[in-house]
Structure 1
Amino acid sequence: MSNSSEKSFSSERVQTALILHPEIHIKDKARENRRSLDSKVQEIIGLTKAIHLEVLETMVLNISQIQAGAFFGKGQRENVAQWVEEHEPDIVIVNHTLSPVQQRNLEKAFKAKVIDRTGLILEIFGERAQTKEGRLQVELAALEYQRSRLVRSWTHLERQRGGAGFMGGPGETQIEIDRRLIGQRITKLKKELENVRRTRRLGRKAREHVPFPVVALVGYTNAGKSTLFNLLTESKVFAQDLLFATLDPTLRKLKLPDGQTVILSDTVGFISQLPTHLIAAFRATLEETLDADIILHVCDVSSPDHEAQHADVVDILESLEIEYETDPRIIEIYNKIDLLDEEERQEITRKCTHNDNRFAISAQTGQGIETLLQAIAKTISASNQISTFHIPYADGHALAWLHERAEMLERTEDEKGTLCRVRISPENKSRFNEKHPYYEVLPQNQRAV
């Protein structure tokens, strides 16, 4: 292998990868096997291409027993080592979580840089993060992941990889990073994150004063969330056919058919075997979903594994303390019906016909979008109320309060004050009436506006 210096995986020379997919045949791994082999292989290829690596080869290695020291059996390791020697990939990617010992031993066996699924996902997250919080979260998760992997003896790849990636190889000459310094950096990052989150909480609190409900898009990565977001808001959110195309939440206003305005939020796509510590690191990002008034779960029904992908999203939402089966905020969206044949499309349509919270659409062609928007409007209207208040001119604070916390539908002036017709949540209406019990114009006394 060449000892030439490399900049990063985004350097001009296309970097190459060998993918090793372990197909595990163990009883307690049945959960992982609910997805077809082809889809698992295509997914890891997609993840690899997401950071612009050229896939030289994908090997499926059957495993009936995971080796504690090196994950794969001796014969498999020898075969892979021979292939690596002949083809010289820049990196070997194992589509599974490896222990630090397993990763180190595989690197020695292959004489090549090895990363596991977690490391690959971290690299993608690092490339996609746009906000300060997103970048801090990525760095924190990466450092915590790397901390146990940093002190090791390198017998190969005595080359450096600079750049901001988290798969950066041995560093300047050898990996001799002081654990104490890593610990200090983690402590500093946590403090910075807390400051950013404090600001975020203030921002979220401020948004509570805005009259617009929040509608959050969630779903398995590449399900078409960003395409749907773009269609609804006519924005230019990054929506290429790449896994994890969106990382940081994106917020836009959206006007519904009945005139209501909502805030639409697009969040990071979920994926199977997402490491627990990574979910924790991105919890603040996903809190946009936890606080949403409506959660739109976008499913790619054209995928042969859409049921397994659906289950993965449900698992993650429930890990965030969302009761998926009973939460009235959840609306399921069966996307990409334009890619189905007629029989499949009819089957999906039947499923939606018997469920008020399930809709079949194509974000690509626009099919079913109007029906979906009407359903969102109906769901929001069911909870909000239209009320009329007469605010004396002397009480400017009450009028400002309504402007902040309700949607002003109509406003007229008379000799005594301002007559406001608003759409307001039951909670805010109750709060307003507690402070101003005589301002509401009840139906029998309501004036024309």
Structure 2
Amino acid sequence: MLEKKANTYEKAVLIGVINRQQDEEKVKEYLDELEFLTYTAGGEVVKRYTQKIDVPNPRTFIGSGKMEEVEEFVKENEIGSVIFDDELTPVQQRNIEKQLRCKILDRTGLILDIFAQRAQTSYARTQVELAQYEYLLPRLTGLWTHLERQRGGIGMRGPGETEIETDRRIVRDRISLLKKKLDKIDKQMETQRSNRGALVRVALVGYTNVGKSTLMNVISKSEVFAENKLFATLDTTVRKVVLGNLPFLLSDTVGFIRKLPTQLVESFKSTLDEVREADLLLHVVDISHPNFEDHIESVNQILGEIGCAEKNTIMIFNKIDLYEPDEIEEDDLETVRTTRHFTIADWKETWMKKMSGNAVFISALNKENLDTFRKRVYHAVREIHVGRFPYNNFLYPENLDEY
């Protein structure tokens, strides 16, 4: 468990549902991740609730009996927030707020809140603000205890304009303004990318908190912010890196996550353009995470959505220093050996063996196997560069060791 100071963290309760799409084990994994998100946002999880339900209750998402159980716990323990792992409809959110009388968030709202905390530059703040307003628009009615200014009487007849309609118009206008602002910045960033010349572009991609920024710092000798929290980096950082005498551009991008809000994918379009325009992707994976294969699938799904699934990619399995397989005693004849018992050597003999050398195992933090990593990246960048400029072939030896 993460160490927390109870007096500095807001008490929170998590709620997840077990259904045909996600069994009990999967829900536990999602709630583990949701707890880390809550911690990152400044919360302390004091209790979790799960319920088996095939179809969410249209009024309160979970059943009435479970709602009463949660309500009692919230009252007795002064809970500040109740956070659902799945996205709530505006109606569900309003109904739950009325019954529990505390802040109600879903995974999307929580991620948006973290992004708002983490955004450092004007560009990132604009992207997050746009995503927040698009998420807020259908939920505006829940923010008002009174709906109309129009009360009738002398000089007050006619349809008027409800306060909620006024605010919807204000939010729509703000969304339109932010989109125009982002379009302008997008064009500026596109010009910046075109001015970078013919250098090969390499982008770090991967699930959040897998060590991309740490790897960026090691290979580029820069000081990109890195922290053991989700979404430590929102702004794309681009650095010129030289291996041997071969230069290329390396970019660190925002981390992906399961159930990533569509609003964020859209508003972070330009950040993702660094991935779209990259010649080579370094897909960083936290191999010490028990569900790293699911993380790979989630990242590949998002890469597919932005048209990057077929890009030249090297898999970088990071945090080998933290990898600990489950052990089976020699006299244990009942336990069935699964992937949780695999050593890294075992993993290398699975589907990873078919990757034609495009899998590298490192520890960015402890700088283990970085020579192998540099050689593999050098070889891939050289192939792209020589393919683009054949007459430069003699400048760059095939092997990095020749320098």
* Band the TM-score falls in, shorter-chain normalisation: 0.7 to 0.9
Mapping of residues 29-428 of structure 1, within 5 Å: 29=21, 32-33=22-23, 36-152=26-142, 178-207=167-196, 209=197, 211-256=198-243, 258-324=244-310, 327=311, 329-341=312-324, 344-351=343-350, 352=352, 354-355=354-355, 356-385=357-386
Q: Which runs of 5+ in 2 are unaligned?
A: 1-5, 146-162, 326-341, 397-403
The structure in which a higher percent of residues are helix is 2
* Residue segments in structure 1 that go unaligned for 5+ positions in a row: 1-11, 156-173, 389-406, 410-420, 424-449
**One-letter amino acid matched to 1:85:** K
CA distance in 2, matches of 1:151, 1:341: 49
- Is the contact made by 1:152 and 1:175 (CA closer than 8 Å) also made in structure 2? no
Partners in 2 of 1:281 and 1:33 — Cα distance?
A: 32
8 Å contact kept, 1:17–1:93: no
**CA-based RMSD:** 2.5
Question: How many percent of aligned residue pairs carry the same amino acid?
Answer: 38
Distance 1:35 1:135, change over 3 A: farther
Q: Deviation at 1:54?
A: 2.3
What is residue 444 of structure 1 aligned with on the other side? none
What letter matches 1:381 in structure 2? R
Which residue number corresponds to residue 160 of structure 2? none
In the aligned structure 1, how far is the partner of 2:302 from the partner of 2:79? 34
Indicate the structure (1 or 2) with the bigger Cα radius of gyration.
Answer: 1
Give how far 1:15 is off.
4.3
- State the Cα deviation string for residues 344-370 of structure 1 (Å, max 9, x = none): 121233355553211111112222211
State the Cα distance separating 1:61 from its structure 2 match: 3.1
Counterparts in 2 of 1:33 and 1:360: CA distance versus 1, 3 Å: farther
Deviations, residues 274-315 of structure 1 (Å, cap 9, x unaligned) = 122321111211110111121000111111111111100000
The 2-side partners of 1:34 and 1:344 are apart by 26
* In structure 2, distance between residues paired with 1:177 and 1:43: 38
Contact 2:14 2:31 in 1 (8 A): no
Contact 2:85 2:106 in 1 (8 A): yes
CA gap of 1:111–1:34, structure 2 versus 1, over 3 A, is closer
Runs of 4+ in 1 over 4 A off after TM superposition: 32-35, 174-177, 351-354
Q: Which moved more, 1:123-132 or 1:231-240?
A: 231-240
Distance change in 2, residues 1:129/1:141 (3 Å) = same
Q: Using a 3 Å threshold, how does the CA distance of structure 1 residues 34 and 384 change in structure 2: closer, same or farther?
A: farther
- Cα shift readout 1:124-178 (whole Å, capped 9, x = no counterpart): 11111122221111101100110111123656xxxxxxxxxxxxxxxxxx98971
Output the amino acid matched with 2:294. A
Which region of structure 1 is more displaced relative to structure 2, 357-366 or 134-143? Answer: 357-366
> What is the number of equivalent residue pairs in this alignment?
355
Q: Conserved in 2, the CA contact under 8 Å of 1:222 and 1:269?
A: yes
Whether the aligned pair in 2 keeps the contact of 1:348 and 1:360 (CA below 8 Å) is no
Please state how far the C-alpha of 1:341 moved relative to its aligned partner: 4.0
Alignment-mate amino acid for residue 281 of structure 1? S
Structure 2 vs 1, CA of residues 153 and 242 (structure 1 numbering), >3 Å: closer, same or farther?
A: closer
Is the Cα–Cα contact under 8 Å of residues 349 and 360 in structure 1 kept in the other structure? no
